[in-house]
Amino acid sequence: MDHTCFIGLDLGTTNIKAAAISDEGEYLLGATGSMVYDTSGGKVEFCLRGFCKSAYNLIRELVVKLPAGTCPAGVCISSASGNTVLLGGDDEPLIPAISWLDKRQDGEIAEVMGDLDPLEVYRTVGWPLIDSFPLAHLCMLKRNDPGALERAAKVGMSSDYINLRLCGAWAIDHSTATTFYLQDQAAGRWHAPYLEALGIPVMKLPRLLPVGTGIGKVMPDAAADTLLPSGTPVYLGSFDHPSAAIGAGVTKEGVLLLSCGTSWVGFTPINGRERVLGADLLCDPFLATAAFGTRYGSGHTGCMPPQAYARDGPWGGYFSLPNIGQRLDEYLCRLIPDPNGRFQAFDDIAAGYAPGSAGVEFDVYDEPLPDLGKMDINKAVGSLIENITILILRKLAALEKDGMPIGGVVMTGGPSRSPIWPRIISEAIGKPVSALPDGSYAGAVGAAKIARSGA
């Protein structure tokens, strides 16, 4: 082979994606698949075997399309995660994977764990106490199906299962483990009080290791299914937004990644975990992990002392405008009925928008939707833009107040492909805004870059 490449996967909530980058870090090609859920009876679950097959198919699609003479030299998975899996002694699923979207767990944490102090949970885990994600799933199972927890030989998340199938390693990175809600994030170890309350021995959980750690090599069966060469190194990735930031090159304080999907998420590197917590942001270890880089060299196995963790780079802080993309689509469906020309029509109208010109203030989360249909279409579109940009402005103002001013923004996702949205946001916030080419693959590219760094 004349060239090597690295393959990254971004296992998202709605779509899963894969991307290949060259040995020099340049994007080569990508592939996309869709998630399939069982939503009967109020649950949101998915088949782990089908999930693994979909991920394998994406890898296979990339390998087939790689330029002639190019060989994969590493693979890495980043994931939206927060999806709970239980495996038996044969490493086969005991139950379907429970998605973080599942809402059946209301009140289950309190029933099992007692009245947890929300501030203590936030400072320990890095995220606020929410009746969702694996902690809530496990509490629900402990109350309603305790036999499943007792029979489980392994308790983890969906991305852990794919890595297990690829290389036989049961491991998780500190970034993805944040959404598990069982990690003491600052110490980089499992939080014993939560495990004791759940009755889960630590030996059932994946091994906690830094982002970028090599955990094994692709086994022959997985090689046959993915077309990856047997023995290809497998590296631990991260949670999806930090991975997208790495893919977009947003790795230093003062720059914000704005990922525009179903929700719009702002992610920014911040020097110091306490500063992230002080700003009430969701907290991620991001580059504060020794294995991402060269400090420990290529021979590093992840066996580092706890005090070495979180000393090398910035943490990540992020905020969410939940479901704002979905709300935007709902408004546009009302304002511009034609589904074929809707987005182009919006761009044409929005091209004439100037900040402050609409002047109709409302809450975009109002139910029912404010009736903008009675307004002039130009005013209605302008008002919609105005009220979304106000939400972004407030978030950036809060960051500046907490001593973390943003000097520039990088956009990814659907709106970033519009020639209008980056300009609109730039004019509204008074900061440069750039759109990332092929930004929809930023998370997968970030995972591939993590594999390249690990290699």
127-162 tens-digit pLDDT:
999 888 999 999 999 999 989 999 999 999 999 999
What SS3 class is residue 226?
helix
Query: How many C-beta neighbours within 10 Å does residue 204 have?
Result: 16
Q: How many residues does the chain have?
A: 455
Locate tokens 């943490």: which residue? 315
Mean of pLDDT values over 357-373: 73
pLDDT attached to residue 454: 87
**366 pLDDT more than 80:** no
Q: How far is CA 259 from the centre of its chain?
A: 10
Q: Is the pLDDT of residue 291 over 50?
A: no
d(CA 146, CA 8): 36
- pLDDT > 60? residue 77: yes
Q: Which tokens is 69 given? A: 């003479």
Q: Give the β-pairing of 70-79 and 3-11.
A: parallel
Tokens of 403: 């001593």
Give the pLDDT score at 370: 72
Q: Which strand ranges, in their side-by-side order, compose the sheet holding 15-22?
A: 27-34, 15-22, 3-11, 70-79, 233-239, 214-217
SS3 239: strand
Percent of the chain residues topping a pLDDT of 90: 66
HSE of 290, CA atoms in CB hemisphere, 13 A:
19
Tell me which H or E stretch contains 329.
helix 324-335
Q: How large a percentage of the chain has pLDDT more than 70?
A: 93
Between the CA of residue 5 and those of 23, 68, 443, what are the distances in Å? 5, 12, 17
**pLDDT at res. 208:** 94
Report whether 404 contacts 369 (CB < 8 A).
Answer: no
Q: Which of 262-276, 298-312, 361-375 has the highest mean pLDDT?
A: 262-276
Task: Provide the pLDDT for residue 331.
Answer: 84
- Give the strand pairing for 408-413 and 433-435: parallel
The tokens describing 237, both together, are: 């990735």
**What is the pLDDT, as a whole number, of residue 303?**
35
Q: Is the pLDDT of residue 295 over 50?
A: no
| Fold for the domain defined by 3-248+449-454 | Nucleotidyltransferase; domain 5 (3.30.420)
CA 430 centroid distance within chain? 28
What value does the CA radius of gyration of the chain take, rounded to a whole number of Å? 22
Paired tokens of 254: 């003062």
What is the predicted pLDDT for the residue at 299?
32
pLDDT at res. 373: 67
- Average pLDDT taken over every residue of the chain: 89
343 closest CA partner among 328, 353, 356, 354: 328
In the block, residue with structure tokens 């404010």: 370
Q: Note if the bond before 368 is cis, omega within 30 degrees.
A: yes
DSSP-derived pairing of the beta strands 183-184 and 189-190: antiparallel
- Tell me what the mean pLDDT of segment 243-262 comes to: 92
Span 245-266, mean pLDDT?
Answer: 91
> pLDDT tens-digit profile of 163-213?
999 999 999 999 999 999 999 999 889 999 999 999 999 999 999 999 999
**pLDDT at residue number 301:** 34
User: Can you tell me the distance from the alpha carbon of 259 to that of 154, in angstroms, rounded to the nearest whole number?
Assistant: 33
The 3-state DSSP class for residue 140 equals helix
The mean pLDDT value for 371-388 works out to 81
The tens digit of pLDDT for each residue in 301-335 reads 333 333 333 446 899 999 999 888 888 888 888 88
Question: Which residue is listed with tokens 């402990």?
Answer: 142
Spatial CA neighbour of 17 closest among 211, 328, 247, 236 = 247
Give counts: helices (H), strands (E), the chain.
16, 20
State both tokens at 304.
Answer: 């580092």
pLDDT surpassing 60 at residue 347: yes
Distance between CA atoms of 329 and 53, rounded to whole angstroms?
31
Could you tell me the residue ranges of all domains in the chain? 3-248+449-454
Beta bridge partners of 75: 7, 234
Indicate yes or no: pTM above 0.85.
Answer: yes
Contact 78, 9 (CB under 8 A): yes
Structure-token pair, residue 435: 């759109």
Indicate the helix (H) or strand (E) that contains 321. strand 315-321
The average pLDDT across 396-409 equals 94
For the cut 50, the answer to whether the pLDDT of residue 434 exceeds it is yes
Rounded mean pLDDT, 227-256: 94
Distance from CA of residue 371 to its chain's centroid? Answer: 34
Mean pLDDT of 57-67: 96
Q: Which two tokens stand for residue 85?
A: 């899996």
The tokens describing 448, both together, are: 């591939």
The answer, yes or no, to whether residue 290 has pLDDT greater than 50, is no
Confidence band (pLDDT; 50, 70, 90) for 361?
Answer: confident
